[in-house]
Structure 1
Amino acid sequence: MTATTIASTPVRQSQLRPAIAELQPHLVEWRRHLHAQPELAFQEYLTAEFISRKLKKWGIEHQTGIAKTGIVAIIDSGVPGPVLGIRADMDALPIQEENQASYRSQNPGKMHACGHDGHTTIALATAFYLSQNRHSFKGIVKIIFQPAEEGPGGAKPMIEAGVLKNPDVDAMIGLHLWNVLPLGTVGVRSGALMAATEGFRCTIFGKGGHGAMPHQTVDSILIASQIVTSLQTIVARNVSPLDSAVVTVGEFHAGTAVNVIADTAKIGGTVRYFNPALRDMLPQRLEQIISGICSSHGAKYDLNYWRLYPPVVNDAKMADLVRSVAETVVETPAGIVPECQTMGGEDMSFFLEEVPGCYFFLGSANLSMNLAYPHHHPRFDFDETALGMGVEIFVRCVEKFCI
């Protein structure tokens, strides 16, 4: 099903408890404040200050300055029980916003174009509600406000700083507002939800010369072109048809004149997959193809391959928990979308490698309000009704897990 088809589904009314429904004006206010002041990775100082100021006002214990700008809030019920972590990312993107809303970005070249302002708002409101209703659960809830999801990644340095310890987190949940799905739906599944995110850049070293005398050269553009084409055989012929993977070349730079054969060519791209078993095979085959083609033409190469995020893999029991809760908040069965995988990446994956958990999508598109632009688009925005729904789902997950 295409994004456009899904987003055209009629908007559904969610089931919110009165105390959370009453927070909706505050959710909109907080989200719009954050949206107007976007900050890039590891620069979320004003965002962190805003969060900390609210937590202090509400008397919520928290630690700041983790991995530069990260925050961990602790809501202790006072009764022994499990520890549940809730994660929200805070960073924006280097995009010039084209929306004309009153709350549009006031920072040139920076924009909350992926919904992280909404994620932060939902987590902040969840902290407030739980702090006012500690009798409704047992144990402890850790709310992790994480920097730099868009890259280079803030989850791993926060984990290394010990955010999953003292007390040890038993499980994690998190959500992503998702304009691929309409308001009133939740995308949740066990197993792989989002793909591993890896990248490469390669320089081909040939021998330049006159375009009219190709026999005197080693044509780097021809070689690079063959590599681009041959890399597509990795998914077509080396990955099982039952698995999903992507090898995309997104950069190709070469040449300075129409009558000159370039001595170097540069290509770069991204590699995505769900199955962790493909982790080693994909870069190995990529280099084998590059090496073989270069060798056959008498060229050399320099390859830089890096891994950004592993795949986001949900624990089956935690996915069942989120699904059972979501079914009480949105209309079912149409409100639950089980097959909602994407080749997009997310560093929530690092948390889910450490503890069992579930990351899920909360539908936020509303075509009738022209709020269905895709993520990372300069006109991205979402239906703010989703904010209260996110709080309700988080709170119900706490109440069901922390018993």
Structure 2
Amino acid sequence: MDANFESELMQLLDEHKDEMIKLRRYLHEHPEPSFHEKHTAEFIKNYYRDLDCKVHDCGDGYGIVVDINADKPGKKLAWRADFDALQIQEDNDLPFKSQNPGVMHACGHDGHTAYLLVLGKCLIQLKDKINGSIRLIHQPAEEVAPGGALSMIKDGALDDVDDICGIHVMSTMPTGTVQLHAGPTQTGRANFDLTFTGKGGHASMPQLSNDAIVAGSYFVTQLQTIVSRRLNPFEVGSITIGSFDGVGSYNAIKGQVKLKGDVRVMSKETRKVIKENIEQIVKGTDVTFGVKSKLDYDDNYPVLINNRDLTKEVETWIKESDIPEVRAVKDSGVVNASEDFAYFAQKKPACFFYVGCQPKDGGIYPHHSPKFMMNEDCLIICAKSAASVICHYFA
């Protein structure tokens, strides 16, 4: 590795800082939801069109793989960034506010894409100084199961890759901090759709009906006993009913209700316990209230497990690089949200870490909120943190 490689790369990134912000704002203005990112994918491919790299579609969606030094011997490091938006109506007053009604980059994926595009361009410019190859994975559909990672893996995104890294910006973490955690790091996830069907009727004659709302309400309250009474108190688990569709009128008894639920876990054992107990409570509700249920249970994203050795190296490398914009590098602890990067981490040693993007006013605008906001200073921190890892990895 050329001794000046890291300083040259950092200088290039500084020169392209404004471009990162410009790219991020364009993407923020033109968001597309999961599995519908056609124009975003074309934008990404066009960015690389005249650069010295290999670009090809990957997976059954809009995934893109970019290879730098594709045929060069040595280690191969993959770096992933997602680019889908959410079906949320933006509630921010920005000059680059979303122009697509009901769709918004409310999780920072526009920032992920912007920093990786510029980092990729700079790496291509210095590719002769890299003792190995780099694969950039631009992934669609992180937000909606089954996600975009699985089909990209099946289509060879990790072929010949030795290790993989990725970054997520976090509005709950102060800008200027880089945070990471070794071992189990983000929760696994399951979703379920549940319908209870009874018999509708007139509110003045409940004896002639079979109230699905009562059955559904009983199910919701019993559900809370799983975490409080079926899980080891030292295990992590949560169950949320996010939708209870029982809309009706004052004087009508509902014959059917539909519920949507979310489950988060930190181990396979907890995943199994929660699923089995949900199924048991559903059956008990059927018997108790004489209703018929239909449960569609989707065990999807696994627990994201960071490789301990690689993660410790990444932490050391970023600290050693002494990046001016980084005020602190520390342990994030376990992060509540789920991520389909976890599928990549099942296949290869992985490190998925976080860059704070809390706005300058000190407010916290949560991810998936219509008011989500990021401090764009995080973009250069993402790029330089990744550059630090890449330079040390190939040194």
**Structures share fold, TM-score greater than 0.5:** yes
Q: Match of 2:329?
A: 336
Q: Give the corresponding residue for 2:30.
A: 37
With over 3 angstroms needed to count, the CA separation of the structure-2 counterparts of 1:277 and 1:124, relative to structure 1, is same
Q: Distance in 1 between matches of 2:110 and 2:69?
A: 25
Contact between 1:329 and 1:389, CA under 8 Å: does it hold in 2? Answer: no
1:9 is aligned to: none
- Counterpart for residue 10 of structure 1: none
2:89 is matched with 96
| Distance change >3 Å, CA 65–CA 338, structure 1 → 2 | closer
Residue matched to 1:246: 238
Q: What are the within-5 Å matches in structure 2 for residues 2-151 of structure 1?
A: 17-64=10-57, 66-76=59-69, 80-151=73-144
Q: In the alignment, what sits opposite 1:162?
A: 156
Question: Is the 1:196–1:345 Cα contact (8 Å) retained in structure 2?
Answer: yes
In the alignment, is residue 291 of structure 1 matched against residue 293 of structure 2? no
In the TM superposition, what whole-angstrom CA distance separates every residue of 1:103-139 from its partner, at most 9, and x where no partner exists? 2222222221111111011111221121122244321
In structure 1, the partner of 2:349 is 356
Indicate the residue corresponding to 1:11 in structure 2: none
Give the 4+ runs in structure 1 shifted more than 6 A: 331-334
The aligned residue for residue 3 of structure 2 is: none
Would you say the 8 A contact 2:237–2:266 is kept in 1? yes
Gaps of 5+ in 2: 1-8
Q: Is the CA contact (8 Å cut-off) linking 2:180 and 2:315 kept in structure 1?
A: yes
Whether 1:278 aligns to 2:259 is no
Alpha-carbon offset, residue 78 of structure 1: 6.7
Task: Rate the CA distance shift 1:216–1:101 in 2: closer, same or farther, 3 A.
Answer: closer
Cα 1:304–1:125 shift into 2, 3 Å? same
Q: Is contact 2:58–2:155 with CA below 8 Å preserved after alignment?
A: no
Distance (whole Å) between structure 2 residues aligned to residue 201 and residue 64 of structure 1: 33
Asked if the contact 1:371–1:381 (Cα under 8 Å) also holds between the matched residues in 2, the reply is: no
* Correspondence 1:377 to 2:369: yes
* Superposed CA offset, 1:350-393 (max 9, x none): 1111111011111011242x674111222222111111111111
Deviation at 1:231, TM superposition (A): 0.6
Aligned mates of 1:203, 1:42 — CA distance in 2: 26
Change (3 A) 1:294 1:60: same
- Structure 1 CA distance, aligned partners of 2:322 and 2:51? 26
Q: Would you say 1:197 and 2:189 are equivalent positions?
A: yes
Residue 43 of structure 1: CA displacement? 2.5
Note the 1:196-235 alignment, pairs <5 A: 196-235=188-227
Aligned residues: 385
What CA distance in whole angstroms lies between the structure 2 residues aligned with 1:105 and 1:265? Answer: 34
Give aligned-pair identity as a percent. 34
Tell me if 1:401 matches 2:393: yes
Distance in 1, matches of 2:332 and 2:41, equals 35
1:346 and 2:353 aligned: no
- Partner-residue secondary structure (3-state), 1:309: coil
CA gap 1:37/1:334 in 2 versus in 1, 3 angstroms = closer
- Structure 1: state its 5+ residue gaps: 1-15
Q: Which amino acid aligns with 1:150?
A: E
CA distance in 1, matches of 2:278, 2:284: 10
Q: 1:316 aligns with which of 305, 308, 314?
A: 308
CA distance in 2, matches of 1:330, 1:245: 37
The 1:64/1:76 distance shift into structure 2, 3 A limit, reads same
How far apart are the structure 1 equivalents of 2:40 and 2:225?
45
Distance 1:147 1:390 in 2: 19
**Farther off after superposition, 130-139 or 193-202:** 130-139
